[in-house]
Amino acid sequence: MPDFRIGERGDAVINYLRDHFGGFFDVIQQVMTDLLGLTYQALSALSPLAMIALLTVLALVATRRIGLTLILGVGLLVIESMDLWFETMQSMATVLGATAVALVVGIPLGIWSAFSPVVRAIVTPLLDFMQTIPVFVYLLPTVLFFGIGPVPGVVATIVFAAPPAVRLTQLGIRQVDAETVEAATAFGASRWEVLREVQLPLAKATIMAGVNQVIMLALSMVVVAGLVGGGGLGSIVVNAVQSLQIGASIEGGLAVVILAIYLDRVSSALGGQGRGNPTWWPRRKPAGADAAHAEQVADGVGAPPLSKAAA
């Protein structure tokens, strides 16, 4: 079997990119640095206790579950009690920044591949490659392109976490009932209107499941990014492991788990999964004729409107 010298060829490609596209990578590095800086400034604008209160309220609004919200709030207080709030906000900034970029790229690409068999044939094996290659393999090229620091960790996180956004967006749109799409088209809706008013709303649950998976995969790269100077909780865990500090590693790992549970529950609830329906939650009142009809039904006058199926 001939030796194709794949490693040497790959090294030559990376060196060529560094020599001829250095300015492009410098722009990406600056954009990623600014994005991380703005995200962290937003997360650290308030004091730790005020931020914990704000995140707890956000969890309550998203999940509508008092018990779960209290657990999440206590978890955030535990992080503060371990004096790891600064590192936790760094990690959250990394996760949110990487997730935002992954979704901005992944969701439109998923929509495009859902409608184009050619794009789908090209994207599918690429996504398979991105999801199966070991995560550590991402780190060396990103370090060569961007140097040591948080940027290579963010770039590697984006590449690792983006595939679910593409796959689940594509899946959600393709699973929309063809008869529903045909009915909308028959009523004169344009292709863009069908996508905006029919396909995307019906695919929302699947797309939001993809968003949740992107967040979880991005968070799973936090510790790995700590190996290349990514900062945050990843650096805490890596330093603790290298110096055999068992207590510090336990605290860093616990903070990662608490952050993962918080982001998972809140993002899932925003997608409609696991959201409560308590009686104390305010409900939107019907307006106009619907409100008058509801009052008549409440007073025993009139009858509920027939459903479309019955009509």
Give domain status of residue 305, yes or no.
Answer: no
Residue 266 lies in a domain: yes
* In-domain check, residue 9: no
**Which residue did the predictor score with more confidence, 220 or 76?**
76
Establish if 282 belongs to a structural domain: no
On the question of pLDDT at 258 being above 50, the answer is yes
pLDDT above 70 coverage of the chain, percent: 88
Confidence of residue 141 (pLDDT cuts 50, 70, 90): confident
Burial tier of 172 (Cβ tally within 10 Å: 0-12, 13-18, 19+): buried
Q: Does some domain include residue 59?
A: yes
The most confident of 5-14, 206-215, 234-243, 280-289, by mean pLDDT: 206-215
247 occurs within a structural domain? yes
pLDDT at 297: 45
Each residue of 31-58: pLDDT tens digit? 888 888 888 888 888 888 999 999 999 9
- What are 197-238's pLDDT values in tens digits? 888 888 888 888 888 889 888 888 877 777 777 778 888 888
pLDDT at 98 over 70: yes
Distance, CA of 35 to CA of 186 (rounded, Å): 44
Find the domain containing 62 and state its range. Answer: 23-274
Please give the average per-residue pLDDT across 129-156, as a whole number: 80
Does any domain span residue 200? yes
How many distinct structural domains can be found in the chain?
A: 1
Q: Which class for 179: exposed (0-12), middle (13-18), buried (19 or more C-beta within 10 A)?
A: exposed
Give pLDDT, residue 304.
47
Q: Looking at the chain, how many residues does it have? A: 311
DSSP characters over 90-142: HHHHHHHHHHHHHHHHHHHHHHHHHH-HHHHHHHHHHHHHHHHS-HHHHHHHH
pLDDT band, very low/low/confident/very high, at 80 (cuts 50, 70, 90): very high
The answer to the question of residue 298 being in a domain is: no
pTM of the entire structure?
0.80
The confidence score (pLDDT) of residue 3 equals 65
CATH code for the domain in which residue 162 is found: 1.10.3720.10
